[in-house]
Amino acid sequence: MDFYDLVTRRCSIRSYERNKAIPDDVLRRILNAGRVAPSAANLQPWRFHVVQSEKMLQKIYSCYARGWIQSVPCFVIVSGNCDEAWVRRKDGYNSIETDLTIVMDHLVLAATFEGLGTCWIAAFDPDMLREALHLKPNEEVFAMTPLGYAPPNAVHFPTSRKSLEEITEFL
């Protein structure tokens, strides 16, 4: 699959085969794709939380109020340390959210390449998630994704996109 097929094939999956394990080598390749993602000043202010144990899965399920989440066999949650991220001197802009967004995108695309489903989730309860992961006060989570195999009968809802002409201005 070439890159352009990959980015158009990626979609949000909301149904997973709960008992189908992700092979360790596949999971490590996906995580490595995140590891090599760019960050401001190459500071890499992130940490990957791979949730697979039943006890931790239950805690994560409770952070997101949608029934389909119960089918997820694995979560990858990326947290970032605000104190370790690059800060622009001129106005104090902190790059943590941008850095974590780039990492998540790398992870999601790598998972798609490996034949796994993902769904970018930001609508979680941040206090519950913070407690479940035992995050420090300066650590943030901006998004998380389920990771798993979609069942053969999974419904994929097509998404529409604006045309290139609608979103592009050549100057």
Say what the pLDDT of residue 35 is.
98
How many folded domains does the chain comprise?
Answer: 1
For residue 48, is it within any domain?
yes
| CATH number of the domain encompassing residue 114 | 3.40.109.10
For residue 47, how many C-alpha atoms fall within 13 Å in the half-sphere facing its CB?
A: 15
Model pTM? 0.94
- Of the candidates 88, 58, 59, 75, which has an alpha carbon nearest to the alpha carbon of residue 121? 75
For residue 168, is it within any domain?
no
Residue 61 lies in domain: 3-151
**Tokens coding 5:** 């097929």
For residue 62, is it within any domain?
yes
Model pLDDT for residues 69-106, shown as the tens digit of each residue: 999 999 999 999 999 999 999 999 999 999 999 999 99
